[in-house]
Structure 1
Amino acid sequence: MRVDFYQLSNDPAEQVLPLIARNTLSAGERLLIVSEDEAQLRRVSEALWTRLPETFLANGRAGGDQEERQPILLSDTPEPSNGAQFMALADGVWREGRFKRVFLLFPPARIDDARGCWRMLGTREGVERRYWRQEGGRWKEGP
């Protein structure tokens, strides 16, 4: 499993997720986006539809009609009823699941939690960790 840590400093998660979603779909994968914050999930859905006008990022909500057919599914739990192998944790809270790739997006206020998660995952066999930070409006891989 690969876990990408995204430290959000310039943009909120809902502005970053359309880029992650576009790249996920381009790789032929489906995405599950998880947050316990209902308002954040609404903002994420809106951003998926409008943030990248050149890209159509269809998405739906877990528990909705035909959730299994959604290329991008928004949920409050890490249950990929759409068959997703990629999961984005929009609220910065780590959740266990069986995924090939996980994106943990966290604001500065959650940096201590992210560090603890980084250390915890470092003790697991078969987990590749990467850290990304915003620098000059671009994402740069950190140490």
Structure 2
Amino acid sequence: MKVDFWQLSRDPPPRVVALIAARVLAQGERLLVVSDDAEQRQLIANALWDASPESFLANGHAGDTGQERQPILLSAEPVAPNGASHVVFADGIWRECEGFSRLFLLFGEDTIEAARATWRALDGPVGVERSFYRQEGGKWRRVA
């Protein structure tokens, strides 16, 4: 299992989720986006529809009709009725979950201590590969 920590500094979660979602879909995979905040989920949904002028990233909300067909599903829970192999925790809150090959934790200044604690907690378990990304000069760079 791969766990990516993305430290937000310049771009807000909806923009970063759209960037990650485009990459996940380009790999032929599906994505689950998790946030406890319904307003944040809607902002992310809007950002996905407006991701780029030439395309949009189709998405839906958990509990809606056809949720299992959505390439990107937004939910308050880390359960993927769409069969997603990747999950983004957009609200900065880590959740224990199974069945995903790659997990992304987005965090900012307000959740940095919790992200550090999660990083330390994931040091050692067999089969966990951690990466840390930071925005530098507008580009995302892997720093650990």
Which of the five TM-score ranges fits, normalised by the shorter chain? over 0.9
Matched, 1:113 2:114: yes
Spell out the pairing of 1:33-52 with structure 2 (5 A cutoff). 33-52=33-52
> SS at 1:55's partner residue?
coil
How far is the alpha carbon of 1:108 from its aligned partner?
Answer: 1.3
RMSD: 0.8
* CA displacement 1:21-76 (0-9 Å, x = unmatched): 01000101000000000110010000000132223200000000110000000000
Distance in 2 (alpha carbons) for counterparts of 1:70 and 1:51: 16
Distance in 1 (alpha carbons) for counterparts of 2:31 and 2:51: 17
TM-score, normalised to structure 1, is 0.97
- Is the Cα contact below 8 Å between 1:22 and 1:55 reproduced in 2? no
* CA displacement 1:95-124 (0-9 Å, x = unmatched): 111210001000111111000000101131
Distance in 2 (alpha carbons) for counterparts of 1:6 and 1:53: 25
What letter corresponds to residue 88 of structure 1 in structure 2?
V
Matched, 1:83 2:83: yes
Long gaps (5+) in structure 1: none
> SS at 2:32's partner residue?
strand
What letter corresponds to residue 95 of structure 1 in structure 2?
R
Q: In percent, how many aligned pairs have the same letter?
A: 52
**2:95 equivalent in structure 1:** 95
Q: How many residues align?
A: 143
> SS at 2:122's partner residue?
helix
**1:61 equivalent in structure 2:** 61
Long gaps (5+) in structure 2: none
What letter corresponds to residue 141 of structure 2 in structure 1?
K
Distance in 2 (alpha carbons) for counterparts of 1:96 and 1:83: 17
Distance in 2 (alpha carbons) for counterparts of 1:133 and 1:54: 27
- Is the Cα contact below 8 Å between 2:35 and 2:91 reproduced in 1? yes
Distance in 2 (alpha carbons) for counterparts of 1:51 and 1:107: 22
**1:125 equivalent in structure 2:** 126
